[in-house]
Amino acid sequence: MKYHPLGRTGLRVSQLSLGTMTFGDDWGWGASAEESTAVLNAYLDAGGNFVDTANVYTGGSAERILGAALQGRRDEVVLSTKFNAPRRAGDVNAAGNHRKNLVSSLEESLTRLRTDYVDVYWVHARDTFTPVAEVMRALDDQVRAGKVRYVGVSDWPAWEIAQANTLAELRGWTPFAGLQLRYNLLERSPELDLLPMAGTFDIGVLAWGPLAEGRLTGKYLSGEGGRLDVYDWGGEGDEETAKRVVAEVVAVAQEVGRSPAQVALAWLRDRGPGVIPIVGVTRRSQLADNLASLELRLDNDQVRRLDKVSEPRGTFPHNFVRTPQITEVVYGDRWRDIEDRRRASRRTVNDVL
């Protein structure tokens, strides 16, 4: 296991983060408390230290399981949780990004986690009723109170994250250090705006759904349904394209003698050291397979093949400025001779240089 700082902070986090949406079987799927604890211990024993949860995962059971399992090991872990989703039905203020819900959600999470602070507190999704300034100031208050060490954001548009961090910098508040987004070989649209924005602001990226709910393991190629049928996140293109992507993942896996899951995770890690896949498992055997991806390095040809078959469709202005004639208008006729070393590790589809 290797480690690197989260964004522009000095916080060292592991190459793979352990997601805990599968901790607890309250939703009819997932792992028991015993197996969840065994998975957590196996992850920590393998050198992992970045554990991700949320206040609503399995109705709060995920946090409770973590709180019990981390007794005696709390300081070994970079523990993160999220707020925003409804905490109870019927209460209009029991959801959202606003200060009231933020403070109440955090206190409840700390109780379930049996700790007096979390290392990273994530805004789970964007509530457009709440001004960005209120969100950032309320988060900063919790950092100053010692209940939160760093703050992060999940599932926000790029322009509002940029607004939030610019505002935080101008006012001396705590900026977002990390960004969670859905990113995998079937969902590469974050490369258009979110990833370039994260690179510019030096925000660490955590990729949730790195295996597309199991699709990238190849087990659904025969047409069998999966969790994607339950959680249809959208944005993954047509079914035939998805099948071609998965087939190429399986082909590369056969070439290297590894599982398709390991290939998909290795491809994600090839995006740069700032991209951390969040792996969610229900069994220790699945965790072991995911951890083995850390030993895999795809060669340039394999990466190119996966890139080509999964290339996302461009949107304006990205597809416009990538056309050769417009590129020359923007950068001049010697644009191919210009090297931007600042972006050397950020491989995005709108990198025209």
**DSSP codes, 50-76:** EEE--TTGGGGHHHHHHHHHTTTTGGG
The pLDDT tens digits of the residues spanning 133-151 come to 999 999 999 999 999 999 9
User: Which one-letter amino acid corresponds to residue 223?
Assistant: G
Same domain, 288 and 322: no
Contact 310, 185 (CB under 8 A): yes
Same domain, 154 and 89: yes
Same domain, 323 and 351: yes
Same domain, 293 and 329: no
Same domain, 269 and 351: no
Range of the domain at 329: 314-353
Output the six-digit token pair for 174.
Answer: 């705590």
User: Which one-letter amino acid corresponds to residue 298?
Assistant: L
- Where b means 16+ CB within 10 Å and e means fewer, 275-312 reads bbbbbbbbeeebbebbbebbebebeeebbebbeebbeb
Same domain, 85 and 223: yes
Question: Of these residues, 57, 121, 150, 183, which one is catalytic?
Answer: 57
Per-residue pLDDT, 223: 58
57 tagged catalytic: yes
Per-residue pLDDT, 275: 94
- The total number of structural domains in the chain stands at 2
89 CB neighbour count, 10 Å cutoff: 7
Per-residue pLDDT, 130: 97
Contact 155, 124 (CB under 8 A): yes
| Alpha-carbon separation of residue 277 from 50, 96, 209 (angstroms) | 11, 26, 8
Same domain, 102 and 137: yes
What is the value of pTM for the model shown?
0.91
Same domain, 238 and 346: no
Q: What is the CATH number of the domain that holds 72?
A: 3.20.20.100
Three-state secondary structure call for residue 77 = coil
Same domain, 298 and 320: no
The H or E element containing residue 305 is: helix 300-310
Output the six-digit token pair for 125.
Answer: 């999704």
DSSP string of 155-223, one letter each residue: S--HHHHHHHHHHHHHHTPPPEEEEEEE-BTTB-GGGTTHHHHHHHHT-EEEEESTTTTTGGGTTTTTS
Same domain, 207 and 336: no
Per-residue pLDDT, 331: 87
| Alpha-carbon separation of residue 279 from 165, 196, 202, 213, 214 (angstroms) | 27, 23, 23, 10, 11
* Number of continuous H segments (helices) and E segments (strands) in the chain: 13, 10
Per-residue pLDDT, 324: 87
353 residues of the chain, pLDDT tens digit each: 999 999 999 999 999 999 999 999 999 999 999 999 999 999 999 999 999 999 999 999 999 999 999 999 999 999 999 999 999 999 999 999 999 999 999 999 999 999 999 999 999 999 999 999 999 999 999 999 999 999 999 999 999 999 999 999 999 999 999 999 999 999 999 999 999 999 999 999 999 999 999 999 998 876 555 544 434 445 455 788 899 999 999 999 999 999 999 999 999 998 876 799 999 999 999 999 999 999 999 999 999 999 999 998 888 888 888 888 898 898 898 888 887 765 544 444 344 33
Same domain, 217 and 323: no
Instruction: Identify the domain boundary among 268, 283, 305.
Output: 305
Q: Strand pairing of 12-14 and 3-5?
A: antiparallel
Per-residue pLDDT, 345: 43
Burial of 255: CB neighbours in 10 Å, binned 0-12, 13-18, 19+: middle
Same domain, 242 and 331: no
- Picking from 125, 121, 170, the residue whose alpha carbon sits closest to that of residue 149 is 121
